[in-house]
Chain A
Amino acid sequence: MSSKNPVRRAPRYVAEVDEGGLGAVDAVRVSERKSNLWLDAWRDLRSRWLFWVTSVLILFIIFVALFPGVFTNEPPNDNCQLSVSNAGPSPGHPLGFTKLGCDIFSRIVHGTGTSLSVGIIVTVMVAVMGIVLGAFAGYFGGWLDSFLMRIGDIFFAIPYILAAVVIMSMFLHDRNIWVISLAIGFFSWPATARILRSEVLRVKQLDYVMASEAIGLTKLRTMFTHVMPNSLAPVIVISTVGLAGAIVAEATLSFLGVGLPNNLFMSWGNDISAAQTSLRTAPQTLIYPSIALSLTVLAFILLGELVRDALDPRTRASR
C-alpha cells in the first residue's frame, strides 16, 4: 500500500445487482446479422441511392453494348450518304448525321461495345498481372521482390500513352480491340502491383498467416487462400476507376489517330476526332459522342468511389 499522507476513507458503496444478474462471462451473442468485410461493404452500398443510380446506368451501358440492335436498326457505317453530311435530326435519325453522312445515334450505340470491351479487357489484364506479380513480390520478398519491382519501376517510368502510341504505330494494319487493349494495359500494371504488394506486406505480418503455415499449408497455398483475398480490396477500388481510365485511353488513342481503324470499328474517340473539323457548323457531331463517353466514365468512377468508401472503414466512420 502506498503510505500517503492522511488517507481519507471513502464511503463504501455497493450497487444493487442488476435485474437478470451478471450473465455468463463472455457469452456468445449470435442473434445479430452476419458480418465480414464484403458483407458489410455490400450493406453499406445497398443503402445508398447513388449506388443504385450508377448500377442502373452501368447495367444499361452493358445492355446497349451487348444488344445494339434493340436501340437502332440503322447500320452505323454502311448506309452513309454524303447528301446528309452534318445534317440535323430527322425522323429515324434523332441525333443527326456526321460529316460523312452516317447516323450519329447509331454510331454511338454501336461504339458502346468497343469502349466497354477495351475497358474490361484492359482492367482484367492489369488486375491479373498486378495481382499475381504484386502478390509474389510482396509475399516472397527478397530478390524476387527486388526483381519484379525494378521491372515495375521501368514500366512505370514510361508514360503509358506514349508507349501505347508507339505500339499502335507498330501494328499499323492489323489493329483490333485486343491490340489496343494490350497497348494500354501492358504499361499500367505496375500501379496495381505496387498497391497489392504493400497490402500483402501488411497482411503477411498478421498472425493468421503464421498460423496457417504452422497448420501445415504450403507458402503458395497460404498466399492464395489467406493473403490474397485479404489484400484485394484496394485493387478492386482502383480497378473500377481504372476501367474508366482505359475507356478514356482508347478514346484518346483513337482521337490521336492511332486507335482503332475508322471503317471497321465504331469508336467514340474516332468520332470525336473526326468532328473537330466541323465543330462550328455541326456541334452535334462532337457533343453527342462526348456525352456518351463522359457518362460512361462518370458511372465507373462513381462506382469506384462508392466501393472505396464501402470497403474503407475509415472513410465510413467520418461520414
Chain B
Amino acid sequence: MSALPLLEVKDLEVAFKTADGIVSAVRGVSFDVYPGETLAIVGESGSGKSTTAHAIIDLLPGSGTVTGGQVLFGGRDLTKLRSTEMEDIRGRLIGLVPQDPMQSLNPVWSIGFQVEEAIRANGVATGKREVRKQALKVLKEAGLEDADRRLKQFPHQFSGGMRQRVLISIGLSAHPQLLIADEPTSALDVTVQRRILDHLESLTESSGTAVIFITHDLGLAAERAENLVVMHRGKIVESGPALDILQDPQHPYTQRLVAAAPSLASKRIQAAVKADKPLETAEVGGEGAGFDLATVAERTAASAGESTPVIEFREATKVFKIRTGGLTSVAFTAVDHASFQVAKGSTLALVGESGSGKSTAAKMLLGLESITSGSILVNGQDVSTMNRRDLLALRRQMQPVFQDPYGSLDPLHNIGNTIAEPLRVHHAGDVASRKARVLEVLDQVALPQSVLTRYPSELSGGQRQRVAIARALALKPEIVVLDEAVSALDVLVQAQVLNLLAELQAELSLTYLFITHDLAVVRVIADYVCVMEKGRIVEQSTVDEVFANPREDYTRELLDAIPGAHIRLGT
C-alpha cells in the first residue's frame, strides 16, 4: 500500500447543456483510488456514475463539461490538460473497458488491427512484427483462445464474451496504472460475466493495476471491489469499505438499495393483500419490507401441485429452418421436447442463458410461434390445433408482458388507449365500462389517473412496464407470460415491479410463466423453476429444491455465477 493516492477526485462537478438549460449531472463528487486497489461506483441509471468516469478521462459525451473541482492523477490535474496531453494519458496511463461489447468494436476492421492500433498508439511496441507479437500476447492474456487465428477475424464472428475479452485486452494493452471498467459485463450472460470478471481480476491483480468498476449491481460491486462509492442523483450518498456498507448501510438510499437487491438469501415475496394498504406503499427498503419478509408461509409446492395444471407443455418442440443462402437450409432446434406443468396461481420460471430457447417456448405458448411437434395445453385445450376463434378466446385468458420497456408500448398511442386496446379488440363491454376497467387496472398497478392521456415517452422504464402489466390485466386473464419483464429495470424499480406482480398474483390468483436469465429474481418470485440449456430442460423442481440441491452441473454453474451470492446483506 503506497501512501499517495493514484487518483484523487475532488469536488467534481459536471453539467450538460440541454434545450431546457444547464442540467448538472455530477454534483461535488470526491473519492481517492490508491495504486492496485479496486473501487466500485454503484448507482441506478442516471445517478451520474458513468458521467463521473467519463469526466476523469475527458470523454464526456455531447455537451457535457466539467464545471468545477479537480481530477488529480499522479499529482496532475486532468481537467486542466490540453487535449493532446490528455490523449497521451488515455490508453497509456488510464485504460477504459467500455460498456457495450456489441457496439464498441469497429465492424469493418479485423480484431488484430484494432488491438494493434491500440498498441501502436500508446507506443508499447514499434515495428510490424513486435506489434503483432504484443497483440497476440495481450489477447492471450485476456483469455482469448486460439488467438493466432482469431487475429484475422472480424467482430461479427465473435460472441459477446469474446468481444469483451478483446476490449479488455485493448484496455490493458499499454499496462495502464488505472483501468476504468464501465459496466463491462452488463450485456453478457451471468456465467460469461463471471469468467470474464475472474479473469480481469487476476490480470489487474498480477500487474498491480488499479480499477474503477462502474456497475448497477451491488452484489457484483461487493464481490469485486474493496471499496464502494454509492451515487444517487449525481452525489455520493455513502462510501467506504464494500463489506461494511453492504452489511451496515447507513444512508437511507443505500439501505433501500441493499434491501432491494435480490440475492440467494432472499425469500419468495409473500404478498399480503390488505384492502387498507394501497399498492403504492409497496415500497422497498426499511425493515420488514421488500424481500426480507421473514414470514415463510407454506404456500409452496405441496399444496399447489395437486390442482390441475393451467399450462402444460408435452414434449413441445420447435425447429427453425435457418437459410444458409441459396435454397439450402439447416434445421435448428430451439426448443427440444420440453415438458412441464404450471399449476393455477403459481409461478413457474424458465431460466437459461441467451439462446437457450426460453423465449421461444413462451412465444409457442402465446401462439406467436408454431409448434413443430408435441403439444401445449392451456386448461386442457391443445393450443396447436385451435382454430382462429378458439385462439382469440384463449388470448383473453393469456396475456404477455415483454422485456423492453421502451419497445413494448406503441409510442403513438396514449396510455389510456394502450390499456383499452385489448378490451376493444375483444369487444368487452361498452365505452363507459371499458373506461372504468382501464381506471381499475391503472389503480391496480399503482399509476395515477393523470397518465391516461400521456404518451409512453413521458414515462420511465418501470412505469412503462407497469402500463404493460395493466394492459395485460385488462381482460382479467388467468395467465400472464412475463418474458424478461424486469430484466431491463434498475434494482429499486425491479423490486417494486416484482412486489406488484406478487401482490397481483395473490389478489387475482394469476398464473405466471416467468422467463428470465436471472436466478436471483427467480428466488423471489417463482415457486417452480425449469432450467433450460440449448433448448432442453435440464432440471426442473421447486425453487427451494433447485437452490438448495442443484443436481445438474449447469444449474450449479448458474447459481455460482450470481454476483455476491454468498455475501450476506444487512438491512
Q: Which residues of A contact B (CB under 8 A)?
A: 1-2, 4-15, 17-18, 21-22, 24-26, 28, 30, 32, 34-39, 206-208, 210-217, 221, 225-226, 229-230, 317
The chain B residue sitting closest to A316, CB to CB, is B19
Q: Which of A10, A11, A216 contacts B426 (CB 8 A)?
A: A216
Q: Given the complex of chains A and B, what is the CA–CA distance between A38 and B455 in angstroms?
A: 11
Q: Chain B nearest CB: distance from A220 CB in Å? A: 13
Indicate whether B201 reaches chain A with its CB closer than 8 angstroms: yes
B342-371: contact bitstring with A at CB < 8 Å (1 yes, 0 no)? 000000000000000000000100111000
Give the contacts of B457-478 with A (CB-CB under 8 A): 457-460, 462-463, 468, 471
Q: Which residues of B contact A (CB under 8 A)?
A: 1, 32, 34, 36-39, 62, 201, 205, 222-227, 232-233, 235-245, 250-253, 256, 280, 283-284, 363, 366-368, 392, 395-396, 399-400, 402-404, 407-414, 421-422, 425-426, 447-448, 450-451, 453-460, 462-463, 468, 471, 492-493, 495-496
State whether A37 touches B411 (Cβ < 8 A).
Answer: yes
Q: Given the complex of chains A and B, what is the CA–CA distance between A215 and B421 in angstroms?
A: 8
Residues of the B chain whose Cβ atoms lie less than 8 Å from the Cβ of A32: 458
State whether B251 touches A15 (Cβ < 8 A).
Answer: yes
State whether B493 touches A26 (Cβ < 8 A).
Answer: yes
The chain B residue sitting closest to A226, CB to CB, is B410
The chain A residue sitting closest to B238, CB to CB, is A14
Q: Chain B nearest CB: distance from A318 CB in Å? A: 9
Q: Chain A nearest CB: distance from B221 CB in Å? A: 11
Q: Given the complex of chains A and B, what is the CA–CA distance between A37 and B456 in angstroms?
A: 10
State whether A8 touches B37 (Cβ < 8 A).
Answer: yes
State whether A208 touches B410 (Cβ < 8 A).
Answer: yes
Indicate whether A215 sits within 8 Å of B399 (C-beta atoms), given known contacts A25-B492, A30-B450, A230-B411: yes
Q: Given the complex of chains A and B, what is the CA–CA distance between A210 and B462 in angstroms?
A: 20
Q: Chain A nearest CB: distance from B331 CB in Å? A: 19
Residues of the A chain whose Cβ atoms lie less than 8 Å from the Cβ of B402: 207, 210-211
State whether B421 touches A26 (Cβ < 8 A).
Answer: no
State whether B251 touches A216 (Cβ < 8 A).
Answer: no
Q: Tally inter-chain residue pairs, CB-CB below 8 A.
A: 163
Indicate whether A26 sits within 8 Å of B492 (C-beta atoms), given known contacts A216-B395, A216-B426: yes
Main secondary structure, interface of B, reads: mixed
Q: Which of B34, B39, B244, B448 contacts A30 (CB 8 A)?
A: B448
Q: Given the complex of chains A and B, what is the CA–CA distance between A8 and B239 in angstroms?
A: 13
State whether A9 touches B238 (Cβ < 8 A).
Answer: no
- What are 22 A-B pairs with beta-carbon distances under 8 A? A2-B226, A4-B226, A6-B1, A8-B226, A9-B241, A12-B241, A13-B236, A14-B237, A14-B251, A15-B235, A17-B252, A25-B493, A26-B496, A206-B404, A207-B403, A207-B404, A212-B421, A214-B367, A215-B421, A216-B395, A229-B412, A230-B410
Residues of the A chain whose Cβ atoms lie less than 8 Å from the Cβ of B407: 206-208
Q: Given the complex of chains A and B, what is the CA–CA distance between A214 and B383 in angstroms?
A: 13
Q: Given the complex of chains A and B, what is the CA–CA distance between A5 and B202 in angstroms?
A: 12
Indicate whether A22 sits within 8 Å of B241 (C-beta atoms), given known contacts A10-B227, A207-B403, A213-B368: no
State whether A13 touches B238 (Cβ < 8 A).
Answer: yes
State whether A2 touches B224 (Cβ < 8 A).
Answer: yes
Q: Chain A nearest CB: distance from B459 CB in Å? A: 7
Residues of the A chain whose Cβ atoms lie less than 8 Å from the Cβ of B250: 12, 14
Residues of the B chain whose Cβ atoms lie less than 8 Å from the Cβ of A229: 412
Q: Chain B nearest CB: distance from A163 CB in Å? A: 34
Q: Which of A10, A26, A215 contacts B239 (CB 8 A)?
A: A10
Q: Given the complex of chains A and B, what is the CA–CA distance between A207 and B404 in angstroms?
A: 7
State whether B241 touches A10 (Cβ < 8 A).
Answer: yes
State whether B252 touches A36 (Cβ < 8 A).
Answer: no
Residues of the B chain whose Cβ atoms lie less than 8 Å from the Cβ of A34: 453-455, 458
Q: Chain A nearest CB: distance from B570 CB in Å? A: 14
Beyond the given pairs A10-B32, A39-B455, 12 more chain A to chain B contacts, judged by CB atoms under 8 angstroms and listed by A's residue number, are: A2-B205, A5-B1, A12-B240, A13-B240, A34-B454, A36-B456, A214-B399, A215-B421, A215-B425, A216-B422, A216-B426, A230-B410
Q: Which of B222, B458, B468 contacts A211 (CB 8 A)?
A: B468
Q: Chain B nearest CB: distance from A253 CB in Å? A: 38
Indicate whether A15 sits within 8 Å of B252 (C-beta atoms), given known contacts A8-B1, A30-B451, A211-B408: no
Q: Chain A nearest CB: distance from B488 CB in Å? A: 11
The chain B residue sitting closest to A44, CB to CB, is B19
